[in-house]
Chain A
Amino acid sequence: MEGTNYLTVAYLGMIAAIAIWTWTVVVRSRRIEARLEAVEASIGIDPAQADELSK
């Protein structure tokens, strides 16, 4: 039983870690997207042409 507890703690630690990681990445992606939209709108860049800029 002790071994199973040990394993459960290890599993839970890793599940929490990947959940936090995934959540952070998704939030970062959405935040930067919102920021970009705001900046591009303020200088009047058409999002369809924006990819050309980043090259």
Chain B
Amino acid sequence: MNMRQRVPEIFLGLGFVGIMSTLYLGMNWAPSVSINAFESPAAQRIFYWHVPAAWSAFIAFGVLFIGSALWFFKRSPIGWRLHVAGAEAGLACGLMTVWSGCVWGAAEWGTPWDWTDVRLNTFGLLTLLALFLVLGRQSQPDGVETRDTFSTFGLYGFVLVPLTYIATRIWQIRHPGPVIAAGDDSGTLQSSMALVLLIGALSFTIFIIGHMMISMRITHLEQRLEQAQKALDGGN
């Protein structure tokens, strides 16, 4: 295996170590928030996971959109690989975000989900869309019909990304606004929390890039395998 093929695995390793460090720092080094600011101050530390996971989910959904557009408009094979990688990474990060959000919601609000909160629901829907794309693609033979249909859904789904962003500003019902501002008044406290979040965002970004690279490679290998097997069958 040459060095180029190792790059995704190096990214994955680095990202994983970074995520562990973020969690350690978040649990042991970052200060607690004001007791008055939250119902359940301890659960607030899940933000060190929740916020970077949401950040990387948006990166993955962005890749999904770009990939879908490249396939749909240009019929680019790389576009399709980006679509697949974005959907898989978006699903994983989306599930992490939703799961950590539900854990926090259960502790803070007393309910893990609120069907009337637009931001929660649009994000949940993006994750469901990623699940639909991943499961749906696996249920269909690869072909232009499959790629066209799922890339169309990828394009539709991206409308939800700006909507989710705008939803925080307009329809904020339960979901909190900027996390760091909810902490103590002390500047040092805010900056140390921000530092942990920054390390988290960076680690998650590296990790998710590693995942998308390896996913693109797998799709590419699957296509080559399909072609090679067809050649072996004697057909075309």
Asked whether the complex places CB atoms of A and B closer than 8 A, the reply is yes
A→B interface (CB under 8 Å):
3-4, 6-8, 10-11, 13-15, 17-19, 21-22, 25-26, 28-29, 32-33, 35-36, 39-40, 42-43, 45, 50-51, 53-55
Chain B residue at minimum C-beta to C-beta distance from A23: B12
Q: Considering the chains assembled together, what is the distance between the CA atoms of A17 and B46 in angstroms?
A: 16
Residue of A6, A32, A50 near B42 (CB, 8 A) is: A6
Majority SS at the chain B contact face: helix
B20 touching A28 by the CB < 8 A rule?
Answer: no
> Does more than half of chain A's interface fall in helix, strand or loop, or is it mixed?
helix
A33 to chain B, nearest CB (A): 6
Task: Decide yes or no: A40 and B228 within 8 Å by CB, A14-B49, A55-B77 being known contacts.
Answer: yes
Q: Which of A7, A39, A43 contacts B45 (CB 8 A)?
A: A7
Q: Which of B42, B214, B228 contacts A29 (CB 8 A)?
A: B214
Closest 8 CB pairs of A and B: A3-B42, A54-B223, A10-B103, A53-B227, A39-B228, A54-B224, A32-B221, A36-B225
Complex Cα distance A28/B214, Å? 10
B23→A11 contact, CB < 8 A: yes
A42 contacts B16, C-beta separation under 8 Å: no
